[in-house]
Structure 1
Amino acid sequence: MDRLRKHIEEIVDLSDEEFEYVKSFFVLKRVKKHQYLIQEGDQATFEYLILSGIFRMFYLDEEGKEHIVQFAGENWWMADYQAYFGEKKATLHITCMADAEVLCLKLEGREKLSAKLHKMEHFFRVKLTKGYVAQQRRIISLLAGNPQRRYEEFGRLYPHLMQQIPKKYIAEYLGVSRETLSRLYSNPK
């Protein structure tokens, strides 16, 4: 739980008493490679703070084609937020790409933390805002960027992921073929 405190205190300071209260809402879960945190149709009960490992969030279309929405590594938050906040069934899948540990937080706990500790409300707002900005940047990159630019931006923003995620998933995330990614990878500008 020291990692949780350090993570939160990058944004807000907590007293020992406040942190004891905060940590009571989190549950540690160990996840094996290829294990799902959530699948389409599941109840989206938790939001996850990634302590270690890498996760892939994706949507399956009607033909069974996977569309990667997000990767998440250490200190990233992840959930099917439409389902989590709407208390609906998931439309996305989240799978583990390397053995991992996550902290799980129920919506009810998140709401109680925010109501009792305005520091935590601020923390969650900052985290969601950063995630929203990252998603906007990704959408703009997909709409306006060419494959070379998308590849370079991904490498610049997430160099640690570039080394840990199989190339086929990076290609899928960037919206390019595996062959195009190989050319970009072997001929960086």
Structure 2
Amino acid sequence: MERLRKHIEQIAQISDQQFEYIKPFFAMKRVRKNQYLINEGDEVKYEFLVLSGIYKVFYVDAQGKEFIVQFAQTDWWMSDYQAFFKKQQATMHIQCVEEGEVLFSTLEVREQLASELHQMEHFFRVKLTNGYVAQQQRIKLLLSSTPQQRYEAFSKLYPTLLQRLPKKVIAEYLGVSRETLSRLYSK
């Protein structure tokens, strides 16, 4: 739980007493490689804070093609946020790519902590804003760049993921074929 405190305190300072109050609102889960945390159609009760491992958030179209929306690694939050905030069924999947651990909590917990502790309201707002900005940047990159530019941006933003993820998964994230990725990788 000390990792949770350090994570929060990157944005908002909290006292020992406040942290003791916050801790019971989060539970930890070990996640095996290839295990799903959310499947399309599920009721989405939780958002997850990655303590370790790599996870992919993705959807599958009507033809069965997979589209990776996000990778999540240490200190990243993930969920199917449309379903989480609107209390709808999931349209996304979250799968563990590299085994790890997550902390999880509910929307009700988020709302309670935000209403009771100004620091937590600030923390959640900053995290949500940063996530929104990152998604906009990703969409812009997908819409207006070449495969080479997408690969270069990915390698700058996530250099360790190049070594830790299968090439097939990176290709799906970049929206290119495995063969195209091999050509980009060799350059």
TM-score by length of 1: 0.98
Within 5 Å, give how 1:1-189 maps onto structure 2: 1-187=1-187
How many residues align? The count is 187
SS of match in other structure, 1:53:
strand
Matched to 1:176, the amino acid is V
- How far did residue 140 of structure 1 move? 0.5
Matched to 1:140, the amino acid is K
Matched to 2:69, the amino acid is V
SS of match in other structure, 2:57:
strand
* Alignment partners' CA distance in 2, 1:13 and 1:160: 29
Any unmatched runs of 5+ in structure 1? none
Output the aligned Cα RMSD. Answer: 0.6
TM-score by length of 2: 0.99
- How far did residue 59 of structure 1 move? 0.4
* Alignment partners' CA distance in 2, 1:162 and 1:125: 30
Deviations 1:38-92 (A, max 9, x none): 0001110000000000001110111111111110000000000000000111000
SS of match in other structure, 2:103:
strand
Deviations 1:80-139 (A, max 9, x none): 000000011100000001111000010000000000001101000111111111101100
- How far did residue 150 of structure 1 move? 0.4
* Alignment partners' CA distance in 2, 1:125 and 1:66: 30
Q: Percent identity?
A: 64
Any unmatched runs of 5+ in structure 2? none
Matched to 2:58, the amino acid is F
